[in-house]
Structure 1
Amino acid sequence: MRKLLMAAVALSFCGSALAQQSAPAFQNNQSEAQRKAGGNQANAELFYMIERLQHEVRKLQGELEEQRYKLDRLSEQSRERYIDLDQRVLDVRKQLDEQPADTGSASPAGRGSDNAQGQQQKRESRAYRVPTQEEQQAYQAIQKLIHEDKNYDAAIDGLYEFIAKYPEGDLTVNAYYWLGEVYLVKPQLEQAKQAFSIVESRFPDHRKASDAAYKLGIAQDRLGEKDKAREQMRSVIAEYPGTKAAELAQSYLK
């Protein structure tokens, strides 16, 4: 009996030990599963956050491109209005210059003499403002954009800024001329025609006037205005005899 009692106690201890040994293994497996589930959830949340950020970035990039396009259009429209206004002022001046001083008393011969005298006064040389060192450096930077970098859009912006900052100077006339040249290359022929016309009409005594007059005829020709182009070339030959522009105009007419 005593032996049976001792055996029962031993079996009881063994059962308790086995239970204690098996319990941690089960609990460990459950904890590992929970950790994995938690890690998967964190990864899913991180992936979702990255997707949202990428979506926001794409949205912002689209809005930025749209604003950049609008700014480019506004800048282009401003430049066109600027040169168009300048051209209108020139047209008004030209009409005033062509009006006779006294239509009631002047004879046809007298009017012809007045027009010739007006043209002579128009061609008389005037003293252009000598450019400063800063102005020369700014002009050379624009020339680099045109001839070396071939960055014509940046050159156009630079030329407009130069004309606004340094008006009525010797290099200002050059800036108008090169504005026409760059527009001719792009090609934006209407803008080129207006720029060359400004040089020819406002600064007829400047060294760039003959070249601008010839290039105005080229712009007209490329726009399909053949009659105007031929008339312009004949005017170059008559107004600027002995110049390279007159030779080129003569070659064009041939």
Structure 2
Amino acid sequence: MSTRQSMAVLMAAALSAAILVPGLARAQSSPSLAEQVQQVQMQLQSAQQGTLSLLNRIDTLEQESRAQQGQIELLQHRIQQLEQQQKDQYLVLDARLRKLEQNAAPVATAASDAAAPAAGVNNPASVGAPASAQPAAATAKPPATVPASVTPAEQAAAQQTAYDNAFAFLRNGDYAEASRRFRAFLQRYPHASLAPNAAYWLGESYYVTGNYQVALDTFHRLLTQYPQSDKSRAALLKLGYCQFELKQYANASSTFNQLIATYPGTEEAHLAADRLRAIPQQSSGG
């Protein structure tokens, strides 16, 4: 082989090396297609696991939310049942009270009618008095026989009628008209025997329509003005109910505890204890 041919071979070999060596270097430094696919698959698998974990967490939260919602609905249903039971009970109690008052009114009237002639018979001026004294006695009778503008019996009947009319609107669900009539009753007969009852049902007419602050003020006024009335116990319970609905939980707790301590063993005390147990759950939710 000549020198020229040898040089040509060497140049060809050098050129081939210059072309092949960078290609081999790149092949060795970059990952293969299989490795790239494997890396992508691993990334997808990791993402799928993260998504699955997230879905499991969401499912757990949804289950917890449904459970809590179920508990809330049960509590609300129980509260509605208790309120309805309490309302029905007081409707019955109030009807009994009014019946007793109606039965007592004729007895009191009969007793007053019987007392009048008895007083006349026992009057010393009419026993053994001379005939000339009889005209004087006759002249003394007219002031007693002059009818007053309204007799006590008529006033009692008017009070009962006004109260019954207001209560009829309450029973029929016309709470606005019932509250208007109970207010009118209390303005006209603030010292009547039925005034505490009217005050209680006035507060009830506000409570059932969601006017809790006005109802609270009404029940508080009842307890202040008529502390010894038969409605005090029920008014104290409803005062606590209003505080509960207004989220005044500390005041409600104090009111319920006061009721339980003052009237232990009563139906109102049991209802107060039930609502008292609901306060922590309600307050933690708010």
TM range, smaller chain: 0.3 to 0.5
Q: Normalising by structure 1, what TM-score?
A: 0.47
**Structure with larger RCO (C-alpha < 8 A, sep 6+):** 1
- Name the larger-Rg structure: 2
Q: Normalising by structure 2, what TM-score?
A: 0.42
